[in-house]
Structures are given as C-alpha cells and as structure tokens.
Structure 1
C-alpha cells in the first residue's frame, strides 16, 4: 500500500461526516443488542419498567458530578436543548418498555418508522422541500409496518402495550432529533443527562401505574446493582453519548439511516438468543422500512447537492 493512499484514507475517515457516521453506526449495533442486558436485569426481579427506572436512574446519577459543574449552562441551555433531552428521554422509556415486554424485532421495526416521522417533521418545521422521494419514504415506511403487523383481522395496529410503546418511541426519537438538529453549541452532556433523568422519571410513572409490576425488594435491587452499574458504565452511557453527539452533527434522516443497523443486530440476536421467529412477513416489512430510511437519506443528499 502506497503512503499516499494511506494518508488519503486516513484523511477521509478523519472528515467530520465520516467520523460521526462511524460512531453512530457502532452505537446502532450496540443498541441492537441492548435488549439482552435489559432482560437479564428483569430476571433479577426488577420487572418491566422497574428495569428502566434502575438503569436510567443510575446512569443519570453517574453523570451528576459532571452536570453539577455545568448547572448554570444547563439552566440557560434553551428550549432546543431541553426539547431534545426530554424527547430522547421519552424515547428511552418507551423503547425499553417495548423491548422488555414485546416481540423484540417487531418493537424495533416499529421504532424505525422514525424516518417517516422525521420526514414529516422536516417538511413541517425545518423548511425541507416536498419531493416524490419524500412521498416514497412515507409510503414505504407505512407499507412495511402494515406487512409486519399482519392486518388479517382488520386494520393493522400494534398488538399489546409493548408494540404501542415501540411505535411511540420512534415518534419521540424523531421529535428529539429535530430539536437536536437545531441546537448550536456543545451541549452533548446536558442533552445526555436530560434524556437519562427524564427517561427514568417517565419509567417510574409507568411502573407505578401498572399493577402488573410489584415494587422490587431491597434484596432484589442489591443483587442486580453490580450488573446494572457495569452495564450503565460500559454500554449505556457511551452509546447514549454517541447517539446524542451524532444527532447534533448529522441531519435527522442520516442519523435514522445509520441507526437502522440496529434492526440487523436486533433481528440476528433475537432469532439466535431469544428464539423469536423471523418469517417472510418480518423479512418483507424489514426490507420496506430499511428502504424508507435509505430513501430519506438519499433525498437529503439530493437536497444538499441542489442547494
């Protein structure tokens, strides 16, 4: 390999877009495996949303020493930072509820209607141009979900709270990414902490109003604590930072496209580890939803070239 080629390759990877995209892609693969530690924690007796309360709450506490030094900055951050943090928090809470209680692949695919919601928000609030490509995003996305949800009994709708939460999480992510895209300045830490703290708060509300989840005992919490801390420090905080960091530096459609690597990771792990079936309906729906994300990214690239 010639030195000039190596230098060119390094310079290409060092470019802002490529570097940020690589970080987001790696975080997406980790998110695709996120259901595994969640269900392991659930097995300690921290059932359902109590798993999210403990995981997100400990993560927020871990970041408290850093956020206290920037408290004034947080309070003055403005509505875009707070909006991004709060909606990402809602995404955390609803998505984790779905992964723990629902079909992993179906919940993940419902979340990945995010490019459709991102397209609609971009047209409504970001001044993006209407195009047939954007129509294709919406049609492909909804067609994919229709196939996955199997509407033989009538109108295709999510089945059970887990799948509804998966759908809601995609909407929350699209709104959060739209807010994050309009943030100016370095606010990754503030947005990350806000998303974790608000996610823990919303999960607490879910847990308290759901009679199916009894409050965990102190013994159960103490048994789970070492594993939870390890998961938070090694996995959750890094991939959360990567998502928030990338969402500010890339357009919402590109972020959604890169995060679709999560679908691949979730499908493989859910089939091999959880034993979930992956038939033709899921395969066809997956292809349509991934095509919607790819079309959204292409439409934004085309818009950039035109402008």
Structure 2
C-alpha cells in the first residue's frame, strides 16, 4: 500500500465532513435538524451496521473492550458536537472542538510512546495559528464556558479518544471499527431526543430518499477516515483532520456570498502547510542505515 494513500483518504474524508453543513442546512430548511436528524441518519445506518458487527463478532471478540471504546467515544463525539452546534455559537464551538489535536498528540505520546518531534510541534503550532486566523479570535472568545462550550470540548476529546482506540484495536476488522460508532450515535441521539422531548417531522418520500443518500455518503466517508486512522500515527491524524474545519469555513464564506478576508486566506495556507508537514513520511531507520553503510 502506498504511504500516501492514508493521508489522501483522510484529507478527502475531512474535506467531505467539512462540506457536510450544506446538506444539513438543506434538511434543516425542511424542518429536520439537531438530534432528530442524527437519530434518523445514524438509525438508518445502524440497520446496516448491526449485521456487520454480528457477522464479525468472532474477529473482534478478543478486543471487544476496545471496540466498545471506539463506539462510545465516536458516538458521543458526534452527538455532543451536533448538540453544541445547534445551541451554541458556531465559532466558539469549532474553536473548542478543534483543540482535539492537543488531546490526540498527548494521548499518542502516552499510549503509543510516539515522540513529540520538532516537526510535529511546528505542525501543531501552525495548525492552531491557522485556526485562529481563519475563525478570528476576539474578546468574545474568552467568555466563561457555557454548557454548549463544554459539549464542544468533550466532543473533541471523544473524537481524539476514538482515533486512539481505533489504532489500539489492531485485531478488530476495519468494517467493525467503521460502523460501531454509528450504532452508538443512534442510541445516544435517541436518548437525547427522549430527554429533550424532540421528535422528527413526518417523513415524506422526498425527504426520506435525501436522508438515505446522505446516510450512504456518510458511511463511505466514515470508512475512508477509519482506514486512514488505522494506518497513520495519531498525532499526524490530529493535524490533518483540521482540514475539515478549513473546508467548512471557506465553503461557508464562498457559498454564503461573504468575501474572504486576508486573514482567512492566510489561515487556510498555514493549516494546509501544517497538514503537509504532518503527512510527510519520515525516513525509516532501515533506510537511513542502508544509506550510511553503502559503499
């Protein structure tokens, strides 16, 4: 497998996630948003996910605890982020959510013994400076934490833990890792709908096929990201997924007819540079030794 395949799949999947606000806004205009939307989409995906998990139960049984961690962390990350975006300020939510590279990098050093190299530190710093420039940081950013802020922060923790657990579950089939969090998201969304007394609107045939199409696209994207996470270092993944944020902000500004400011362009360049640094494959020790001993 090419060493560039996982970064390419991760960047592509992150960009598609960043553009997911477009169909979500379209469905919201038809009265379907928030947890009811999550429940319908992930509930539909769970119809496909449960048979996959059951069919592969012997393969993941030895690491069932790690698969459960993948499901709970990914499921909570999705549900918490959706709740935060619905009820909170989008800029604050995204800034707090994208602190996840810090948690992922520290977790990789602790769990997998990865070294915090100079290049990795530079990539993280560039990524965070790019986030600040793209989103803009002002006095309101430093307001006291609200419930939605804590949801966004916990969502970032959830996704970081999901990525770490995905790498640790090395004997769990990729298909099971890809679909486990879908079931957890549906269960959590259903629980929140009951607690918040939210109900989906009546489904028409026109709305149903749109939900089905969006669910299918999300399943493909989920598989792409899970494959990439399985074959990449967690700290590298932490930087590359920030491409999702840039895709969301820039596409929102473009399609919303809002002109991009110079700082937004500068932020996009810095985050792109950080992604390239993080994705650049390091020379293996075997390759270095071979060169040093060559005649």
Q: TM-score, normalised by structure 2?
A: 0.78
1:23 aligns with 2:5: no
Distance between the aligned counterparts of 1:107 and 1:172, measured in 2? 14
Distance between the aligned counterparts of 1:104 and 1:306, measured in 2? 46
1:181 aligns with 2:167: yes
Quick one: structure 1 residues 153 and 16, their matched pair in 2 at CA, closer, same or farther if it must change by over 3 Å? closer
Residue aligning to 2:75: 89
- 8 Å CA contact 2:37, 2:200 repeated in 1: no
Deviations 1:124-149 (A, max 9, x none): 22223355556556666666667757
- Relative to structure 2, which stretch is displaced further, 138-147 or 24-33? 138-147
1:52 aligns with 2:42: no
- 8 Å CA contact 1:253, 1:297 repeated in 2: no
1:42 aligns with 2:28: yes
Residue aligning to 1:251: 233
1:227 aligned to which of 193, 205, 210: 210
Distance between the aligned counterparts of 1:59 and 1:255, measured in 2? 25
Residues 1-307 of structure 1 aligned to structure 2 (within 5 Å): 15-101=1-87, 107-130=93-116, 148=135, 150-152=137-139, 155=142, 161=148, 164-185=150-171, 187-210=173-196, 214-217=198-201, 219-220=202-203, 224-233=207-216, 235-274=217-256, 301=282
| Alignment: residue pair count | 287
Shift of 1:55: 0.9
Distance between the aligned counterparts of 2:263 and 2:139, measured in 1? 12
Quick one: structure 1 residues 280 and 168, their matched pair in 2 at CA, closer, same or farther if it must change by over 3 Å? farther
Quick one: structure 1 residues 89 and 155, their matched pair in 2 at CA, closer, same or farther if it must change by over 3 Å? same
Shift of 1:207: 2.9
Distance between the aligned counterparts of 2:16 and 2:137, measured in 1? 29
Shift of 1:87: 1.3
- Unaligned regions of 5+ residues in structure 1, if any? 1-14
- 8 Å CA contact 2:123, 2:239 repeated in 1: no
Q: What secondary structure does 1:17 align onto?
A: coil
- 8 Å CA contact 1:50, 1:203 repeated in 2: yes
Deviations 1:198-244 (A, max 9, x none): 1112222333333xx63234x247663221111112x1110001111
- Unaligned regions of 5+ residues in structure 2, if any? 290-295
Quick one: structure 1 residues 294 and 74, their matched pair in 2 at CA, closer, same or farther if it must change by over 3 Å? same
Deviations 1:139-186 (A, max 9, x none): 66666667757452683566772x544433222111111111222235
Shift of 1:277: 7.6
Q: TM-score, normalised by structure 1?
A: 0.75
